[in-house]
Amino acid sequence: MIESRKDLKHAGKIVVKIGTGALSDEQGRLDSGSLAHLVSQICHIKDNGASVIIVSSGAIGAGMGILGLKSRPSSVSHKQAAAAIGQIQLMRLYDKFFSRKKRHVAQVLLTRDDFSDKKRYDNAKNTISIILDYKAVPIINENDTVATEEIKFGDNDNLSGLVCNMIQAQLLIILSDVNGLLDESNKVVSVVENITQDIEKLARGTTKQISTGGMVTKLEAAKKATSGTAACVIANGRQKNVLAKILNGDNIGTLFLPR
């Protein structure tokens, strides 16, 4: 059980959710430099013996960049089309950067139904477990091209919390372009022992065209993860060596302790 930041280095199974804000430039296009840096850090974590599962946003943002769209599509069908176009580029870059480190990747696309139907849930869980046994890196995303409003997670924050519980990870790291949960004075809250109503009031949505959810959905994901045995850290994915610093116990981001 993780009880403080110094315990984070002992997490043997880690879910890293990489948000659109951590992957995209100001125009919404994929930032390959940022992605390469994150991949390098993840490979270092694996070299130290931990298993890593990635929940990656960025497919719609990548599609926006390819198509030259200046704002996020509003209709479901247009989002699905942008995701279908962008997912290819996203996975191509993941494969390219992990291959440089002699690591294999696997694409896993999920919908809400995969978590509500026991047979599909067990199949997904078993597949991810076997991918990890092969020492490959599962890269999970919502199956945007087939999901409808009724079955969509709505964001990959909540998906990462569900995945964390599915595979019984010890740590969920949510990377975005925010430094963590901010208090009323806009200072980062270092540690949250329990997500109370007062903590929830600190959450803010997002107005960015390439993102969804904001801090509200990140808190929802943290709730899901910490309801089990996992801790959760929300941090800025654009900070240099952010994953290494988190696992080193540095005081960055907001740490949510398991309940």
pLDDT per position as a tens digit, 35-52: 999 999 999 999 999 999
Please state the rounded mean pLDDT for residues 58-83.
Answer: 85
| For residue 198, pLDDT beyond 50 | yes
Look at 112 and 155; give whichever has higher pLDDT: 112
pLDDT of the residue at 204:
66
| For residue 256, pLDDT beyond 90 | yes
Is residue 226 within 8 A of residue 254, CB to CB? The reply is: no
| For residue 166, pLDDT beyond 70 | yes
pLDDT of the residue at 210:
42
Is residue 242 within 8 A of residue 214, CB to CB? The reply is: no
Distances from the Cα of 193 to the Cα of 1, 3, 218, 258, angstroms: 13, 9, 16, 7
Is residue 144 within 8 A of residue 73, CB to CB? The reply is: no
**Maximum pairwise Cα distance, the chain:** 47
Residue 8: how many other CB atoms lie within 10 Å: 20
Looking at domain 5-256, its CATH superfamily turns out to be Acetylglutamate kinase-like (3.40.1160.10)
Distance CA 190, CA 221 (A): 17
Rounded to the nearest 5 degrees, what angle is found at the Cα of 158, between the Cα atoms of 147 and 12?
120
Rounded to the nearest 5 degrees, what angle is found at the Cα of 100, between the Cα atoms of 37 and 51?
70
Please state the rounded mean pLDDT for residues 123-147.
Answer: 90
Residue 109 dihedral angles phi and psi, to the nearest 5°: -110, 125
Is residue 24 within 8 A of residue 93, CB to CB? The reply is: no
| For residue 66, pLDDT beyond 70 | yes
| For residue 148, pLDDT beyond 70 | no
User: In the beta sheet, which residues pair with residue 105?
Assistant: 137
Does the model's pTM come out above 0.85?
A: yes
User: In the beta sheet, which residues pair with residue 141?
Assistant: 109
Distance CA 231, CA 44 (A): 20
Q: Hey, what amino acid is at 15?
A: V
What one-character DSSP code corresponds to residue 6?
Answer: G
Distance CA 106, CA 139 (A): 6
Burial 119-153 (b: 16+ CB within 10 A, else e): eebeebbeebeebbeeeebbbbbbbbbebeeeebb
pLDDT of the residue at 153:
59
pLDDT of the residue at 209:
44
Structure tokens at 187: 């200072």
Please state the rounded mean pLDDT for residues 126-150.
Answer: 85
Distance CA 206, CA 217 (A): 10
